[in-house]
Structure 1
């Protein structure tokens, strides 16, 4: 189940908060590792300098050797007497000095036969262990954030998932129970209208049944669309649209609404017929439902200038829509008096996104709304031409 925008923001906030909280120990651990490296290397330089100092006093300087530590002898005038440092230093006014990747230590010595005033020793720093530790801790942090964040989101959405599950079960059972009696009502009403004189009561019942049928099919699609793969086919949109208009004539007449249509012939699209029906039916039902009595619903279908797209528009003269974006949200309805689930346009938007149908809505309060759809037309292939010739 998808999170609502507020829940997503909350999830992002918790993620950021957890990252900050867990980054603090990582930062301190890295600092500790770096400081530990500096302390160890400084101790090594001190020990080495002490050994060199002893050699100066004993006159056995030739015995001083180290693979890891370099050093220099400097006299009281600042002149270097012996030097194997890796870098040339600008001055020696320090006790401990770091110039990455080296650490320097100055050791003042007493008077000796070599006229050395102080020793400068150098060792290379190695932060690879500290960096490795930081990386490992960061990975642990990320794993913990992922687990905790997932747990938080799971806990937050669990009630909604349970509610959605039981809602779907309720809808499924209700749909199953309604299907048979709805079919029986349709058949008997058809028989009644054929075998008796037309009267307003039969017409009203037929209109009501058609409205129930449209809502039934919308709910059924809403429940099943994620479980069923709807196969596409070549459809004559022109004739299909005409048949749906004919179906809705009774519903429109019940409000004294006239459906006026301008439909260009032989416009073909490639999509699932059931999904096309949902787009047309739900939009047309909405137009009739929210139109003023004794008004018009205008339907126009034509190709664009380049004949690449089919342009369908359904215009009503109702009360208009304040928020044209919110109407596509699930269970969203501007007019609560009319009732309904608010699923129709959400289903339309879902199908349009799925099939690459561009949808736009223009609305002006108290003047009405226009829903426009842009379908890619069916491109006739070579094999289609052969079949048509046969």
Structure 2
């Protein structure tokens, strides 16, 4: 789906750029077409004027008393005397008078021709017609649509062919990562089970505790990567969850990890706090915050985890005594890491941010360098 969005984006950009370039010759085409239309209009006016003049000359030769003035659905005309007064006019009430051969008046183009002596005593003839560029505009639209369609098709096929190798590579990498993640899940699970069994035999062994803590860190990273890769496929299935019990179990899960750094996890959890939420997404919010708090806390410090109801909100907070955050505006950016030495991929809080935005959760971050950081999440009741 993402690839398709990029393809459409590049195709649209390509089409607009090519259209912009194509508009230059189209502009000159329009300019030449309008010029040709103007020349054609002038020729038509002259031809019709010649028709009227011929009709007047024939009237002198004919032995008739009535002159039938030529009429047309396209042209209007008038004959003027030496004082430029209308002898006869089909121009309506328009007072058209000019000295030039051709003149554009409002939406009409007019032609003036001086006459030789005639029986009607007319000195000049004016012929007008409406300026009609509809055919030129119609042709230009058809041309533009044809060019646009051709550009779109050619751009589509060119871009599709050019990005096909990257699409295959991307698909290969996605499949490789999914397979790799699947293969990692089993050994991590086996290692954790065996470490738990060893811990029963060798109680309070620091080496076992460190191995267990490392495995839990790997589990959190694995689950973040798995969620990140499959977040579009995660079903938005919400259910009623006892938030109090759920949070208490997650704190217990991280207890060994905290003990390995002599960190105390203090929890202040109000009982019977119920929430309607996606369980997988709730795991990611809690696990990322607790693991980060442990990761960036000083040895032998305290982490406070609290859950309580406040007015119409549920307040979830994680407070540590760690190194603090220099720039809290960047911590939710993908791949951002506050301390590269501690490791990680920098996607945990990015995942948390997306989940919060999706569920309209308000996030607050309070931090002081070398004093600690507090993450506060305000959830709505459902």
Q: TM-score range by the shorter chain?
A: 0.7 to 0.9
Relative to structure 1, the CA distance from residue 316 to residue 374 in structure 2 (aligned partners, 3 Å threshold; closer, same or farther) is same
1:377 corresponding residue in structure 2? 381
Alpha-carbon deviations, 1:355-385, whole Å to 9, x = none?
333334344444443333232222xxxxxxx
Give the Cα separation in 1 of the matches to 2:164 and 2:219. Answer: 33
2:22 corresponding residue in structure 1? 22
Contact 2:15 2:148 in 1 (8 A): no
Give the Cα separation in 1 of the matches to 2:46 and 2:267. Answer: 96
Give the Cα separation in 1 of the matches to 2:152 and 2:365. Answer: 40
Alpha-carbon deviations, 1:38-86, whole Å to 9, x = none?
2222211110101212223333652623232110111221211111115
Asked if 1:351 is matched to 2:355, the reply is yes
Asked if 1:39 is matched to 2:23, the reply is no
Residue 160 of structure 1: how far off its partner (Å) = 5.5
Contact 2:75 2:128 in 1 (8 A): yes
Asked if 1:255 is matched to 2:245, the reply is no
Superposition pairs of residues 209-358 of structure 1, within 5 angstroms: 209-305=215-311, 307=312, 309-358=313-362
Give the Cα separation in 2 of the matches to 1:82 and 1:287. Answer: 99
Q: Secondary structure at the match of 1:62?
A: coil
Q: Secondary structure at the match of 1:301?
A: strand
Residue 211 of structure 1: how far off its partner (Å) = 1.0
Residue 259 of structure 1: how far off its partner (Å) = 2.5
Contact 2:7 2:160 in 1 (8 A): no
> Which residues of structure 2 form unaligned runs of 5+?
61-66
Contact 1:23 1:141 in 2 (8 A): no
Contact 2:322 2:370 in 1 (8 A): yes
Give the Cα separation in 1 of the matches to 2:310 and 2:142. Answer: 59
Relative to structure 1, the CA distance from residue 11 to residue 68 in structure 2 (aligned partners, 3 Å threshold; closer, same or farther) is closer
Aligned counterpart in structure 2 of residue 182 of structure 1, from 180, 188, 193? 188
User: More deviation in 177-186 or 66-75?
Assistant: 177-186
Give the Cα separation in 2 of the matches to 1:263 and 1:198. Answer: 28
2:212 corresponding residue in structure 1? 206
User: More deviation in 260-269 or 116-125?
Assistant: 260-269
Normalised by the length of structure 2, the TM-score is 0.85
Contact 2:270 2:308 in 1 (8 A): yes
Give the Cα separation in 2 of the matches to 1:70 and 1:12. Answer: 49
Contact 1:233 1:273 in 2 (8 A): yes
> Which residues of structure 1 form unaligned runs of 5+?
379-390
Alpha-carbon deviations, 1:187-243, whole Å to 9, x = none?
222222223432212211211111111112112222223234242111122221121
2:149 corresponding residue in structure 1? 143
Contact 2:216 2:257 in 1 (8 A): yes
1:114 corresponding residue in structure 2? 120
Relative to structure 1, the CA distance from residue 28 to residue 311 in structure 2 (aligned partners, 3 Å threshold; closer, same or farther) is farther
Give the Cα separation in 2 of the matches to 1:94 and 1:185. Answer: 100
Relative to structure 1, the CA distance from residue 188 to residue 311 in structure 2 (aligned partners, 3 Å threshold; closer, same or farther) is same
Contact 1:189 1:202 in 2 (8 A): yes
